[in-house]
Structure formats: structure tokens, C-alpha cells
């Protein structure tokens, strides 16, 4: 068998690589090797939107919210457990960039949502006590004279949460006269039918924005109504429907005032739900969910010799992902740090012994405590943490590491490899270093066009082994676990973050410093966060102001929390434009 280190080139070899940098899926982003990612703000309308649907996460949060506000928070898990089987029929959001970009509505969605609605209605009304809490005592007493107001009140109260707005009289009449009736008094089957229709209604499954006033007589541009604005804010920050306070701010008119709006945004940003949303964003941006299992090679002599005491378990993967998310959480929310700080911090967030061991046996950290620095001179920021580095093998895969930084952090485009890229690999001396191998295989000829974009970044990160441990030399293992050679590390390379930048980086720390300072990083964050929160690809021409606002704030080192808040303060956030 070919040596294990020979050819970790996957998805990355290419002939005819144009060096394309930037660009957006579906957008009009940069398409060349520009030196920055500046956006151009041309004040005008927001982008048109086409009836967005709730993401799966938003759908789940909305179901849970209904339970919490009707039966109570303590019943949420039990009710949702009764819905779990049906939820398996609702497809996961499938976009590989950010889940919410998947706006498909398939038959499987509609079918699955139906079965969920039916199970959900049954769970909400499973007992008389549930019905009493859901509808009120009037539903279970023996007085038939109160049935009509009882029903109306139920429809209006629950409907307000499910529709995320007060129901008009017409809509109340629809639920009462056409869905509930004919019924034998407060018949539970009829109550369930109302819940099923509500949970399948367009107001629950889509972001309906059809109540606002036209802007200056336009027929394609509208202000959001207070309730629509409340929903947009809550889904933006929490990925969840508006709570009582937000709905009341909409009802009272407070949300329509500048002060009231800003106050609500501050409250939303401070809420832990915003942190959870940002966890999801960073996990998607850094593709943490795509981290391969680390324990697959356990048992292989070469890998076992390489791993030593750090034998990976299935839990290690989750622990190092949590380690990276803790870095982001602490930086953004505890330290009021900037995006640059995410790439620079040397603080340790190892909460478990296995992670601490990867960091060389550092002391454990617990949430709420002040983190201690990692050993000096070893790491800086997220790029040098195990979740961004681990490969599950003794190899470091510099090409893949470089590709991920290029693609995810810098928003560069790397073409797919040609068909025959992997088919004629020469045998290499097994005692060569990984860098020497990569340079031999890809450093010249047609391969070099693209690999000069990837390999150097991977070489800069060469001081971290396949489990993300810091090292000062490179042991080369034979198939039987014996050490064939111990080689010096050479981590200096020119990462060329922009086409005309020939500044070398000595190691992962200097690379991180360059990435932290790069406008491309700021621009890439802005693009990704835009896609994540607005559930659509950005259009540089139309969305330039929002992107520029974020970009400028990031470039100035504004705290991340402030950057996120400012998006909701932009004028276009409160508008909706119809698609032609």
C-alpha cells in the first residue's frame, strides 16, 4: 500500500486555476484577485425577497414556543418528545454554506409538517388538564353558555402566537366557523383541528409580511408593520419567534419609536438566545460540523504510535468543537472582543482533560472563570485550535487546511480538481517531510496554479499535528508504527492572502495575525453573516450598504456584539421589497 502520507491532495488539485478570489453564490461579488473586500454602498431599496419560509431550526423553535406560552415551559420537552417521530419527516435544511439558504419547499416538507401538526395538536390536548391550560377553565366546565367566548378567546390568544400577530375578525371567524364547527360544544377533536390548521397556516410556516404601509406611494416597497418587525427582529437574533415583551412592544407602539426600537435590540442582543444563534453561525462559517471523526484510525499501528497518550475517542470530536465555540463565545460576549480577537486570542478554553492534553496539559477552564493563556508562542486564535486542524490521522493535510482557510475565512474560490488529478502519483521517499511531499507533488507545473493559494497556508500551520497538538519537529511513522525519521519543521511560507501580498508568515501565529488584519477576512465575515441571517445570498449591488456597514465596523475593531446589533439599526432592515 502506498505510504499514508503520500497523497492527501483531495479536492484541491487543479489545472487552469485562475486564482479567482472572492465572489458570491448567486451574487455579484469580487471575481478577481483583488487586494481587499471593500463594498460599495449605493443607498436605495433593500433586496427583494420571495416569501421566505422558516428554517427547520426556526420551525422547531416556533413549535416549542407555542407549548411554552400555552402549557408552560416545563411541558415543552414532553410535548416535543411526542412529536419527534413525525419531525423526522420534515427534511433538514440542506444548503452546505448556511442551512437557512435552503429555501426549497418540497412535498416532503408539506407532508412532514402535516404529520407534525397532527401529532402536535394531539400532544397539546392529550389530557383534560392540558386542554384547561391551553384553552382555559371555560373549556372544561359544565357551563355551555360560555363556550362561544371561550372559543373566540382561545383562537385569538393562541392564534396571536402562531400567526405572530393579532388575528383579524375575518381570520377568527374562519377558525371558528369553518375549522372548529361543526362541533359538539368544546369538542377536543375540533380544538385539535384548529391547532392543526394554525400550525400549517402560511403565517406559521412562512415569514408573511403583508401589513405594512407603502413607502412613498410605491407598490413594491413597504414598511414592516410593528408585528412584522418584531418577528423579523426575533428571528434575526434568536432564530425564534417573538416573545411577550417584543409582541407587547409592537402592540404598544414602542417598537415604532427610535428609542423603543433600540431598547428592544439591546435586550435581544443581551439575551442568551442570541449567543446560541451566534454559536450556530460560527459553527457553520468554520464548518465545525464537518470535522471528521477522529477515532477512525485507532488500532492502526502508525496512528497509535503517532497519537501516543492522546488516543481519540468519539467524544474528543465534540470536545474540541466546544473548545472552539467557547473561544468565540468568550471573545464576543465576555470580553467584548472583535472579529480580529477571534483570530488572535491565546486564552485557553479547555474544559475537559482530553482537550487539555492536546494543549500540552494546561489547567482546565470552567465557564464563568477567567481563562488563562496557553503556553507562550504556540497559538493564536481560532485557526490554531484543534477543531480547525485535526485530521483524524497522523498527517496534517496542509492542502486541505489551506483550502479551508481560503474558502471559508477568505471567501476565495478554488476550482475543483481535474478528472485525472489523482491518477498518476509518483512514489515518493517515505522519509520525506509532508511539506517536501506536497511541494514535490504540487509545487510545479499545472498543479502549482491553485496550490500556491493553498499549500503555503497549510505549511504555516505545520506546527500543529493531525490532532492539533503543537510540535517542534515532524516524526515520520512507518506502517508498523516505527519512527522512520524525525524531521525539522519548516513553517515559513508566503500565504499570499491577496494576490500582490508577498509578506511571509513564519508560522501559524503570524498567519493568524495576517488573517485577523486582512480586509478579506472582514469582508468574508460580512458575506457569511449576511447569508446566515437573511437566508439568502447577498447581492453586492443592492446589499452593498449593509455589507459595507458590517465591513467598516469589523475593520475598525468594533466588538462583535455591536456589529450584529448595527445591522438591525440600518434603515433597510425595516423594509420589504417585492420581487418583480
Partner 1 sequence: MTLRIPNRRQFLRGAAGFTLALPFLESLRTRSARAGDPPYAPHARFICMTTQHGGVWGSNMFPADGAATATQTLYPGHTMHHGALTATTTGGQARLSNVLSAPEALLSSALVSKMNVIRGLDIPFYIGHHTGGDLGNFGRNDGEYDNPTEYRPTIDQVMAYSSSFYPDVSSITARSMHIGTHQDHCWGYSNPAQQSGEIQSMPLSQSAQALFNQVFIPEEEEGPAPRPLVVDRVIESYRRLHDGAFGDAARLGARDRQRLEDHMDRLRDLEIRLNAVADCSDVSPIQGDTQGLDVGGYSVNLSDIIQHYRLYNDVIVAAFMCGTSRIAVINSGETWSPDISGLCCNWHEQVAHMSAQPDGVAQQLLVEAKQRFFENVFLDLANKLDVEEANGVSYLDNSLMFWTQESGSTTHDPISLPVVMAGSAAGFFQTGRYIDYRNRNSTAVVGDYMPEYALRRPGLPYNRWLANIMMSMGLSPAEFEYPGEHGYGLPIVDNPQAWSSQMMNDSSELLPILVA
Site for partner 1 in 62-121 (CB under 8 A): 82, 85-86, 88-89, 91-92, 94, 104-111, 114-115, 118-119
- Does 425 contact partner 1 by CB under 8 A? yes
Contact residue for partner 1 among 38, 51, 372, 485 (CB under 8 A):
51
Q: Are 392 and 297 in contact (CB under 8 A)?
A: yes
Spatial CA neighbour of 437 closest among 69, 83, 4, 94? 4
Q: How far is the CB of 302 from partner 1 (least distance, A)?
A: 8
Stretch that binds partner 1, among 8-16, 321-329, 362-370, 430-438 (CB under 8 A): 8-16
Strand positions, DSSP E, 134-255: 221-223
- Does 321 contact partner 1 by CB under 8 A? no
Instruction: Output 237 or 303, the one with its CB closest to partner 1.
Output: 303
- Does 484 contact partner 1 by CB under 8 A? no
Q: How far is the CB of 132 from partner 1 (least distance, A)?
A: 8
Q: How far is the CB of 118 from partner 1 (least distance, A)?
A: 4
Q: How far is the CB of 407 from partner 1 (least distance, A)?
A: 15
Instruction: Output 178 or 258, the one with its CB closest to partner 1.
Output: 178
| Interaction residues for partner 1, span 157-196 (CB under 8 A) | 168, 170-171, 174, 178-179, 184-190, 192-193, 196
Spatial CA neighbour of 468 closest among 349, 310, 242? 310
Burial state string for 543-558 with b = 16 or more CB within 10 A and e = fewer than 16: bbbbbbbbbbbbbeeb
Give me the phi and psi of 298, to 5 degrees please: -60, 130
| Interaction residues for partner 1, span 131-160 (CB under 8 A) | 131, 139-144, 147
Q: How far is the CB of 497 from partner 1 (least distance, A)?
A: 26
Q: Mask 251-290, x = binds partner 1 (CB under 8 A)?
A: ----------------------------------------
Q: Are 233 and 568 in contact (CB under 8 A)?
A: yes
Residue 381: alpha-carbon gap to chain centroid: 19
Q: Are 465 and 487 in contact (CB under 8 A)?
A: no
Instruction: Output 191 or 509, the one with its CB closest to partner 1.
Output: 191
The whole-angstrom separation of Cα 219 and Cα 231 is 23
The whole-angstrom separation of Cα 350 and Cα 330 is 12
- Does 43 contact partner 1 by CB under 8 A? no
The whole-angstrom separation of Cα 79 and Cα 63 is 10
Q: How many residues bind partner 1 (CB under 8 A)?
A: 102
Q: Which residues contact 182 (CB under 8 A, 6 or more apart)?
A: none
Instruction: Output 209 or 323, the one with its CB closest to partner 1.
Output: 209
Helix, strand or coil for residue 493? strand
Contact residue for partner 1 among 315, 422, 483, 499 (CB under 8 A):
422
Burial state string for 6-41 with b = 16 or more CB within 10 A and e = fewer than 16: bbbbeebbbeebebbbbbbeebebbeebbeebbbee
Q: How far is the CB of 116 from partner 1 (least distance, A)?
A: 8
Q: How far is the CB of 162 from partner 1 (least distance, A)?
A: 12
| Interaction residues for partner 1, span 492-521 (CB under 8 A) | none
Contact residue for partner 1 among 293, 308, 373, 571 (CB under 8 A):
293
Instruction: Count Cα atoms within 13 angstroms, Cβ side, for 487.
Output: 19
Q: How far is the CB of 71 from partner 1 (least distance, A)?
A: 16
Q: Are 468 and 358 in contact (CB under 8 A)?
A: yes
Contact residue for partner 1 among 44, 72, 149, 202 (CB under 8 A):
202
Q: Are 138 and 150 in contact (CB under 8 A)?
A: yes
Instruction: Output 219 or 258, the one with its CB closest to partner 1.
Output: 219
- Does 197 contact partner 1 by CB under 8 A? yes
Q: H/E/C letters for each residue in 428-444?
A: CCCCCCHHHHHHHHHCC
Grid coordinates belonging to 74 = 416545563
- Helix H or strand E segment including 484: strand 483-488
Q: How far is the CB of 340 from partner 1 (least distance, A)?
A: 33
Amino acid at each position: 500500500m502506498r505510504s499514508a502520507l503520500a497523497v492527501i491532495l483531495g479536492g484541491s488539485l487543479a489545472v487552469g486555476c485562475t486564482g479567482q478570489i472572492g465572489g458570491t453564490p448567486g451574487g455579484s461579488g469580487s471575481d478577481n484577485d483583488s487586494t481587499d473586500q471593500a463594498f460599495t454602498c449605493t443607498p436605495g431599496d433593500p433586496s427583494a425577497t420571495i416569501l421566505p419560509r422558516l428554517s427547520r431550526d426556526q420551525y422547531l423553535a416556533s413549535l416549542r414556543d407555542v407549548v411554552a406560552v400555552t402549557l408552560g415551559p416545563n411541558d415543552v420537552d414532553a410535548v416535543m418528545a411526542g412529536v419527534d417521530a413525525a419531525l423526522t419527516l420534515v427534511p433538514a435544511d440542506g444548503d452546505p454554506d448556511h442551512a437557512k439558504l435552503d429555501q426549497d419547499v418540497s412535498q416532503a416538507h408539506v407532508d412532514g409538517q402535516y404529520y407534525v401538526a397532527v401529532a402536535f395538536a394531539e400532544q397539546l390536548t392529550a389530557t383534560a388538564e392540558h386542554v384547561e391550560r391551553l384553552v382555559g377553565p371555560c373549556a372544561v366546565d359544565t357551563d355551555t353558555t360560555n363556550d362561544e367566548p371561550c372559543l373566540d378567546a382561545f383562537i385569538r390568544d393562541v392564534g396571536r402566537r402562531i400567526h405572530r400577530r393579532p388575528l383579524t375578525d375575518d381570520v377568527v371567524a374562519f377558525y371558528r366557523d369553518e375549522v372548529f364547527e361543526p362541533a359538539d360544544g368544546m369538542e377536543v377533536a375540533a380544538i385539535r383541528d384548529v391547532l392543526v390548521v394554525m400550525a400549517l397556516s402560511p403565517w406559521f410556516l412562512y415569514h408573511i409580511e403583508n401589513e405594512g404601509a407603502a413607502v412613498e406611494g410605491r407598490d413594491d416597497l413597504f414598511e414592516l408593520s410593528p408585528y412584522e418587525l418584531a418577528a423579523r427582529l426575533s428571528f434575526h437574533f434568536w432564530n425564534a419567534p417573538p416573545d411577550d415583551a417584543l409582541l407587547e412592544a409592537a402592540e404598544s407602539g414602542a417598537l415604532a419609536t427610535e428609542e423603543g426600537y433600540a431598547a428592544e435590540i439591546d435586550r435581544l442582543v443581551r439575551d442568551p438566545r442570541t449567543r446560541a444563534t451566534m454559536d450556530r453561525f460560527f459553527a457553520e462559517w468554520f464548518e465545525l460540523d464537518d470535522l471528521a471523526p477522529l477515532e477512525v484510525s485507532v488500532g492502526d499501528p502508525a496512528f497509535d504510535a503517532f497519537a501516543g497518550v492522546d488516543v481519540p475517542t468519539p467524544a474528543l470530536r465534540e470536545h474540541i468543537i466546544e473548545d472552539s465555540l467557547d473561544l468565540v463565545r468568550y471573545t464576543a460576549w465576555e470580553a467584548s472582543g472583535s472579529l480580529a480577537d477571534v483570530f488572535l486570542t491565546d486564552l485557553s478554553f479547555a474544559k475537559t482533560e482530553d482537550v487539555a492534553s492536546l494543549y500540552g496539559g494546561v489547567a482546565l477552564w470552567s465557564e464563568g472563570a477567567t481563562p488563562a493563556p496557553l503556553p507562550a508562542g504556540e497559538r493564536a486564535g481560532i485557526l490554531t485550535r484543534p477543531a480547525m486542524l485535526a485530521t483524524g490521522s497522523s498527517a496534517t493535510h496542509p492542502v486541505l487546511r489551506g483550502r479551508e482557510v481560503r474558502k471559508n475565512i477568505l471567501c476565495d474560490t478554488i476550482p475543483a480538481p481535474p478528472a485525472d488529478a489523482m491518477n498518476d502519483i509518483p512514489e515518493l521517499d517515505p522519509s520525506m517531510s509532508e511539506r517536501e511531499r506536497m511541494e514535490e507533488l504540487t509545487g510545479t507545473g499545472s498543479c502549482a496554479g491553485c496550490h500556491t493559494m493553498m499549500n503555503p497556508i497549510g505549511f504555516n500551520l505545520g506546527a500543529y499535528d493531525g490532532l492539533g497538538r503543537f510540535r517542534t519537529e515532524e516524526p515520520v511513522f512507518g506502517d508498523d508504527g516505527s519512527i522512520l525519521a524525525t524531521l525539522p519543521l519548516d513553517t515559513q511560507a508566503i500565504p499570499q492572502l491577496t494576490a500582490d501580498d508577498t509578506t511571509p508568515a513564519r508560522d501559524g501565529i503570524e498567519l493568524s495575525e495576517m488573517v485577523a488584519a486582512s480586509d478579506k477576512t472582514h469582508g468574508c465575515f460580512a458575506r457569511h453573516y449576511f447569508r446566515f441571517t437573511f437566508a439568502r445570498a447577498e447581492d453586492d449591488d443592492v446589499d452593498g450598504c449593509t455589507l459595507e456597514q458590517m465591513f467598516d465596523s469589523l475593520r475598525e475593531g468594533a466588538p462583535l456584539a455591536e456589529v450584529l446589533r448595527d445591522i438591525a439599526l440600518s434603515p433597510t432592515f425595516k423594509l420589504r421589497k417585492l420581487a418583480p
